[in-house]
Amino acid sequence: MADSAQVPALVYLVTGGCGFLGEHIVRMLLEWEPRLRELRVFDLHLSSWLEELKTGPVQVTAIQGDVTQAHEVAAAMAGSHVVIHTAGLVDVFGKASPETIHKVNVQGTQNVIDACVQTGTRLLVYTSSMEVVGPNVKGHPFYRGNEDTPYEAIHRHPYPCSKALAEQLVLEANGRKVNGGLPLVTCALRPTGIYGEGHQVMRDFYHQGLRFGGRLFRAIPASVEHGRVYVGNVAWMHILVARELEQRAALMGGQVYFCYDKSPYKSYEDFNMEFLSPCGLRLIGTHPLLPYWLLVLLAALNALLQWLLRPLVLYTPLLNPYTLAVANTTFTVSTNKAQRHFGYKPLFSWEESRARTIHWVQAMEGSAW
Ligand SMILES: NC(=O)c1ccc[n+]([C@@H]2O[C@H](COP(=O)([O-])OP(=O)(O)OC[C@H]3O[C@@H](n4cnc5c(N)ncnc54)[C@H](O)[C@@H]3O)[C@@H](O)[C@H]2O)c1
Ligand SMILES: CC(C)CCC[C@@H](C)[C@H]1CC[C@H]2[C@@H]3[C@H](O)C=C4C[C@@H](O)CC[C@]4(C)[C@H]3CC[C@]12C
């Protein structure tokens, strides 16, 4: 790779670069990677904001493509030095079939690895997920654990299954010889629940609150901790890993890192209220308003309705047996592995992450603000 002197010589490829996380990675790379010569943004759906990025000093190349098509991935990758593979089908609501989720998340990742080998791209950073670990099907809590905390990772849902398989492929590919004879260096980042500007589920909660006259109703006990991390800090971790991976290949190659920052440990709903309260919404109840057994029943009913209605319409409510189990199981991380291995410190403080997210909610269309 090019010398670390500020010669803009590097070509980066970001798959899924138009998604929620991908957009933050793309914008941050342009701001924080002085060695960047060309940034290739590969996505199934290209966003219009890419156009405004094309006027800067770095060449931004938008590539409409599908990670499930090996030849498209290889063509996009030819001549690139680093690939950040963040494209994925994030579906825990039953919008896509299990086969499609597997195809995009697992076969798509295999195609990225194969393209690295074929084209001689040596550095691969993969966006994995906390869900590779848990919560598991038994609902065991993971309380402020780290990358070495023992936990029974057993999944049935297609999304965590696909992320676990894909992560395994990426880690196993570390050290494989790429075209030219040098070894591939890979590593996987595992964000917990990401929040921040552009977060679709936060948008959904906000609009649901507006429909209920500015009220949301507590469903999950406040004592259940759910790990959250600011999107800007997740993007920053990707940029640091990509930057350090070659120099620290022996230490970082084949490793996994949870994504973390200073966001507080709270329940999923209480955490959301950090942003939604200043935008005029209230969370009703200090305890869940419905007993848990009734929520389980409603979630099961939603699953049944989804199945019955599937021939007619796609019914994908937020509440289903899987989302209820994830929201209702403590899963939080406490680690400093990323700091020890590649000097990560969050770029955004909790106060700044919070302020930016609130500002985004307030600017949302239909906002009560
Ligand atoms: N959102 C979270 O809380 C969270 C948490 C942990 C991990 N992740 C992981 O982070 C990554 C990004 O997630 P996100 O929340 O930004 O999701 P997103 O849906 O906003 O972004 C995913 C992007 O991938 C693209 N994509 C999907 N299928 C594709 C295909 N076949 N070919 C090319 N591009 C395709 C989409 O068009 C989209 O732009 C995913 O891999 C996800 O598993 C997300
Ligand atoms: C029970 C209802 C009242 C609340 C439903 C909330 C539910 C939609 C939320 C809760 C937790 C969320 C997941 C969690 O933050 C982490 C991830 C990992 C990531 O890889 C993909 C997204 C996902 C699964 C979040 C999806 C939305 C969930 C389930």
pLDDT value of position 2: 45
* Strand bridging mode 282-284 / 228-230: unpaired
Whether the CA torsion 171, 201, 259, 86 is positive or negative: it is: positive
Q: What percent of the chain has pLDDT over 70?
A: 97
Q: List the beta bridge partners of residue 123.
A: 82, 185
Mutation pick for ligand 1 pocket among 24, 43, 90, 109 (CB with most ligand atoms within 8 Å): 90
Bridge partners, residue 43, by sequence: 64
Regions in the chain scoring below 50 on pLDDT? 2-4
Distance in Å from the first CA to the final CA of the chain: 49
Q: Residue of the nearest CA to atom 18 in ligand 2? A: 193
Ligand 1 pocket, residues with Cβ under 6 angstroms:
15-16, 18-22, 43-45, 66-68, 86-90, 104, 108, 127, 129, 163, 191, 193-194
Interval 221-242: pLDDT, tens: 999 999 999 999 999 999 999 9
Could you tell me the distance, in angstroms and rounded to a whole number, from the CA of residue 348 to the centre of ligand 1?
22
Structure ipTM over 0.95, yes or no: yes
- The pTM (predicted TM-score) of the whole model is 0.96
What residue owns the CA closest to ligand 2's atom 3?
219
**DSSP run (H or E) holding 9:** none
Catalytic residue among 12, 126, 143, 159: 159
Q: Is 268 in the pocket of ligand 2 (CB under 6 A)?
A: yes
Q: What are phi and psi of 34, to 5 degrees?
A: -65, -15
In three-state form (DSSP H/G/I as H, E/B as E, the rest C), the secondary structure along 317-360 is CCCCHHHHHHHCCCEEECCCHHHHHHCCCCCCCHHHHHHHHHHH
> Tokens 């410190």 — which residue?
345
159 is catalytic: yes
Query: Cα(328)–Cα(127) distance, rounded to whole angstroms?
Result: 24
Alpha-carbon span 238 to 191, nearest angstrom: 11
DSSP annotation string for 277-303:
GGGT-EEE-SS-SS-HHHHHHHHHHHH
**What's the gap in Å between 175 CA and the centre of ligand 1?**
26
Dihedrals phi, psi of 248, to nearest 5 degrees: -115, 35
> Which H/E stretch holds residue 260?
none
Q: Is the dihedral of CA 163, 87, 233, 354 positive or negative?
A: negative
User: Phi/psi of residue 309, each to 5°?
Assistant: -85, -10
Q: Which two tokens stand for residue 272?
A: 């959301």
Q: How far apart are CA 100 and CA 244, in angstroms?
A: 34
Tell me, using a 6 A CB cutoff, whether residue 323 lines ligand 2: yes
Quick one: 207 exposed, middle or buried, by C-beta within 10 A (0-12, 13-18, 19+)? Answer: middle
Cα dist. 143→79, 227, 283, 287 in Å? 43, 9, 25, 21
Contact between 12 and 79 under an 8 Å Cβ cutoff? The reply is no
pLDDT 10s digits, 123-156: 999 999 999 998 987 889 999 999 999 999 888 8
Two structure tokens written together for 216: 């949301």
Distance in Å, CA 327 to ligand 2 centroid: 6
**Helix ranges restricted to H, 91-213:** 98-102, 108-119, 158-172, 200-211
Ligand 2 in reach of 319 Cβ (< 6 A): yes
Q: Are 199 and 229 in contact (CB under 8 A)?
A: no
